[in-house]
Amino acid sequence: MSAIEIKSDLHKLIDKINDIDMLNALKVLLKSKSTEYDSWDMLPSEVKESIEKGIGQAERGETKSHDEVMQAYKKWL
């Protein structure tokens, strides 16, 4: 399959997607491969806020060990 055919297929697939999160993820992926970028700047604000919240929790020691998490969720695993 040629590059032109692959691009055409991708355009068709993307045109069918209405999920904003999926479209943003695809945008980040495609931008990361096509240009120099700062990946942080490309993340949606909700993702940045979630990451910053997690970092803050870790800095305050609000974490659980792997064993604690596995014990709490073992009935679903």
* Residues 14-59: tens digit of each pLDDT: 999 999 999 988 888 887 776 666 778 778 899 999 999 999 999 9
Number of H helices, E strands in the chain: 5, 0
Q: What is the 3-state secondary structure (H, E, C) of 38-55?
A: CHHHHCCHHHHHHHHHHH
Query: Is the pTM for the entire model greater than 0.75?
Result: no
Torsion angles phi and psi, residue 3, rounded to 5: -60, -40
pLDDT for residue 37: 62
> What's the rounded mean pLDDT across residues 70-75?
90
pLDDT for the residue numbered 10: 92
Domain that holds residue 13: 1-38
Shared-domain flag, residues 33 and 54? no
Residues 34 and 54 in one domain: no
Tally of domains in the chain: 2
